[in-house]
Amino acid sequence: DGGVTFSAPRKVQTQVVDFDHPKEMSGFPKFAADSQSKDFKDRIYTAWEDSRLGNGRILFSRSRDRGKSWSPPMPVDNGCPEATHQWQPAVAVNKDGLVAVTWFDTRQSADGSEYDQYFAVSLDGGETFLPSVRVSSASSNPKGPGNRLMTPSSMVHKGLFVLSMLSAAGWSAGGHYMGLAADKDGDFHPLWVDARSG
């Protein structure tokens, strides 16, 4: 009924977090619903960071019955090197029912300190994914010199003057500023936090 009332809550999946790698617990599950395709209409999709397979991986699940039941979790990208860390997924579905997932990925970085944006798409309603592709043309280094600069910020709160020094140095996870959208023609448009300039 358009969000006026809601069903009882149902468990979708369990997210396994490795607290020794904080960047992999930085995001939240993302969801997308197919509201218009001929073959997969009303399916719901979700992607999230998970450590149950070792290093952080993007896992995926789908519902064919409007969220009543969910498929077992599966990795979006089975072809990544074992040492790779993945986090910050986004998921979208286009008018033709293609499901896309993007995420941050360290496979291009020798020591795991830099990340790139990766993309994978499913042509069969989330049953399988094609091999992933790198979207970013250069790796991001969140600990670059520009992000370590301290920036003063001030405000008045309840009559008190507050001065703080802010820095982006703690945002190795990339914040929560990633997204993925499908336009009316069915093309996907990823956006991400990029620190290639330092």
State the Cα angle at 86 between 66 and 149, rounded to 5°. 120
The number of beta carbons lying within 10 Å of the beta carbon of residue 2 is 4
Mean pLDDT of 82-102: 95
Q: Has residue 23 got a pLDDT over 70? A: no
User: Closest by alpha carbon to 25, among 52, 46, 45, 44?
Assistant: 52
What pLDDT, on the 0 to 100 scale, is given for residue 108? 95
Residue 70 neighbours by CB distance under 10 Å: 18
pLDDT surpasses 60 at 8:
yes
**Cα gap 66→40, rounded to integer Å:** 11
Confidence (pLDDT) at 103: 95
Beta bridge partners of 74: 60
Mean predicted lDDT score pLDDT of the chain: 90
- Tokens 């790779």 locate to 84
Q: What is the pLDDT of residue 5?
A: 96
For position 58, what pLDDT does the model report? 96
Give Cα separations from 77 to 114, 144, 163 (angstroms): 19, 28, 44
Residues in a beta bridge with 160: 157
Report whether pLDDT(22) > 90.
Answer: no
Least trusted range by pLDDT, from 8-17, 22-31, 112-121: 22-31
CA atoms 195, 22, 166, 180: torsion sign: positive
Q: How many residues are present in the chain?
A: 198
**What is the pairing mode between strands 44-50 and 30-33?**
antiparallel
Residues 80, 132 contacting (CB under 8 angstroms): yes
* pLDDT tens digits along 159-195: 999 888 877 766 667 667 789 999 999 999 999 988 8
pLDDT of residue 25: 54
Give the H/E segment covering residue 46.
strand 44-50
Torsions phi, psi of 14, nearest 5? -110, 130
Q: Does 133 score more than 90 pLDDT?
A: yes
pLDDT at position 197 is 87
Q: Are 37 and 96 in contact (CB under 8 A)?
A: yes
Please, which pLDDT band fits residue 130 given cuts at 50, 70 and 90? very high
Average confidence (pLDDT) over 131-154: 89
Looking at the chain, the whole-number percentage of residues with pLDDT higher than 90 is 66
What pLDDT score was predicted for residue 26?
A: 62
- Which pLDDT does position 98 carry in this prediction? 98
pLDDT given at position 89:
95
